[in-house]
A and B are shown apart, each in its own frame.
Chain A
Amino acid sequence: MTRRQLDARAGVALLAPALAALAALAAWPGVWVLWLSLQKRIPIFGIDRFVGVAHYAFLGGDARFWNAVRVTLVFTVVSVALELVLGVAVALGLQRQHRGRRLTMALLLLPWALPSVVVGRTFEWLYHPSAGLVNFILGARAINWLGEPALTLPALIVADVWRTMPFVALLCYARVLTIPAAVYEAARVDGAGRLATLRDVTLPLLRRVLLIALLFRTLDALRAFDLMFVLTGGGPANTTETLTVYAYRSLFQTLQLGLGAAIGVVVFALVMLVAWAYLRAVGRTEVTA
């Protein structure tokens, strides 16, 4: 046997356990969910039969589903946009930081590292109508942030941005650190002002990492569940019910496994669609740039 054949055999042997585990724990549930979504399964009533695409047809005309789609998209677009803008700003602020870098990083990363359930319960307390810090800072108002339909989605987005902006900031900061001082020196010699340097030097160099952060954050926001489930439970009046919360309620609260699976498949399709569109768009700009 040649060395290459031996290596190939060793490679298969080393990889097999991991692939078997992934096949069983991720790929197989990912396929099975499709099958599940074609069935009407309501265990408590002993209902279990094949219904084809009935669940998808139902969702097509389901106002609650389209509301969840809208909430998911608004949440994703607004949160990710805010995170990217704030993340870049923080990275630029840290760029010339000399003292206390460890402390700054600890403060920055803490919100990101916390369990999202902790974030949910923390903001629940901050938004408390009478004893919450938010209303106190706003001048002892009695705004019911989590009870007023128009305010709840914004309140939820703020909590999400608080938790995830640090991730974007960290990636941008790591990239900013690798920009050689000579680049800025050259810009200064050319007489570029601060704004021009930011626009023509720093931001173009951040383009790639921002695109990566955009992809990661968009996929995470589309899949987000914990924060809305804990902080608002999808309420009031479903104003913060994302597709994930709708799917969860169908699966485990109303125990309609098939319908819940179908919504889960929609989330999956949405995630894959975004990833595919992203790869196409980035592939194109990479060529033209």
Chain B
Amino acid sequence: MRPAGRLRDAVVIALLGLWALPFFWQALTSLKPDTELMDVERLLAAAPTLAHYRAVLERSVMPAALLNSAGVAALTTVLALVLGVPGAYALARLPVPGKNALLLGVVACTAFPQITTVGPLFVALRALGLRDTWTALVLADASFALPLVLWLLAGFVREIPVDVEEAAALDGAGRLRVLVGVVLPLIAPGVVSAALLVFLMSWNEFLFAFTFTATEASRTVPVALALFPGIFEVPWGDIAAASMLASLPPIVIVIALQRWLVRGLTAGALRE
């Protein structure tokens, strides 16, 4: 029985490794010198090289794009949490008038197609002189990040026993002090999960970034990758290297922060 179970486990891992093959293929491609790129049958490069990474980091917009992406994703996360944490607490716990309608509105916002709002947002951001700035992207990304945070964290707040808060309230603490001193520490794991999801979604976001940016000043990684220049032929090796750089945060998240990611992903869907 035991060896059979071990074999089963190995088969499952192998099959999922096979599923992830496109990613690994891209990783291997990023290490192949240009002369070997067309040799499909060669799994590993005969002479592995970091030349593509060097090219991307020294002679492309990628470094600027990485900085833009990190900045926009981090600021979006901070903004969504600063606005979302108090809002989620109020939605979950306080007798706000018209609360059910508000909650429905928040859920509806998560279903908003970006393609529907991108036109009006473009006109508005241009009118405000915000084209090609981080601010434009942070504001636009907040339109999907904020509903997600409100929805996820309201669920986490509801899981806290009411008694805990009541005890603090009886001690004379105001709602804000209860939120910061009692509730926030208890929902901290949920906050981390929400932050992770928002960061990842903003890092990956393409439509808004593609539309609202124009230059290196604000172009994010997905935009730079989509527009990766090829003068005479497509630089597949450089594109593969750039893909790997664009994938760094997702890789770190699925490996090192997996627990939080899984918690965030399943919380929204599996909670009643």
Which candidate, B22-30, B56-64, B186-194, is the interface stretch facing chain A? B22-30
Contacts of B261 in A (CB 8 A): 109, 113
Which residue from chain B places its CB closest to the CB of A133 in the assembled complex? B25
Question: CB of B162 within 8 A of chain A?
Answer: no
Contacts of A104 in B (CB 8 A): 12-13, 16
Cα distance A162–B114 when bound, in Å?
A: 22
A171 contacts B269, CB within 8 Å? yes
A185-210 with Cβ < 8 A to chain B: 209
Which residue from chain B places its CB closest to the CB of A119 in the assembled complex? B22
Question: CB of B33 within 8 A of chain A?
Answer: no
Which candidate, A12-20, A52-60, A149-157, is the interface stretch facing chain B? A12-20
Contacts of A90 in B (CB 8 A): 16
Tell me the minimal C-beta distance from A190 to chain B in angstroms. 22
A162 contacts B200, CB within 8 Å? no
Seen from chain B, the residues whose Cβ lies within 8 Å of a Cβ on chain A are: 5-6, 8-9, 12-13, 15-17, 19-23, 25-26, 29, 37-41, 83-84, 86-87, 89-91, 93-97, 102, 105-106, 109, 111-124, 139-140, 142-143, 146-147, 150, 174-176, 179, 200, 203-204, 206-207, 211, 221-223, 225-226, 228, 236, 239-240, 243, 246-247, 250-251, 253-255, 258, 261-262, 265-266, 269-270
Seen from chain A, the residues whose Cβ lies within 8 Å of a Cβ on chain B are: 4, 6-8, 10-12, 14-15, 17-19, 21-22, 25-30, 32-33, 36, 90, 93-94, 96-100, 102-111, 113-123, 125-126, 128, 130-133, 135-136, 162, 167, 170-171, 174-175, 209, 212-213, 216, 219, 222-223, 225-226, 229-230, 243-244, 247-248, 251-252, 257, 260-261, 263-265, 267-268, 271-272, 275
Q: What are some 26 contacts across the A-B interface (CB < 8 A)?
A: A7-B175, A10-B90, A10-B175, A10-B176, A14-B176, A15-B90, A15-B96, A18-B83, A29-B124, A30-B117, A93-B12, A96-B8, A104-B12, A107-B17, A107-B20, A109-B254, A111-B20, A114-B204, A115-B247, A117-B204, A122-B243, A133-B40, A170-B262, A209-B270, A216-B269, A267-B116
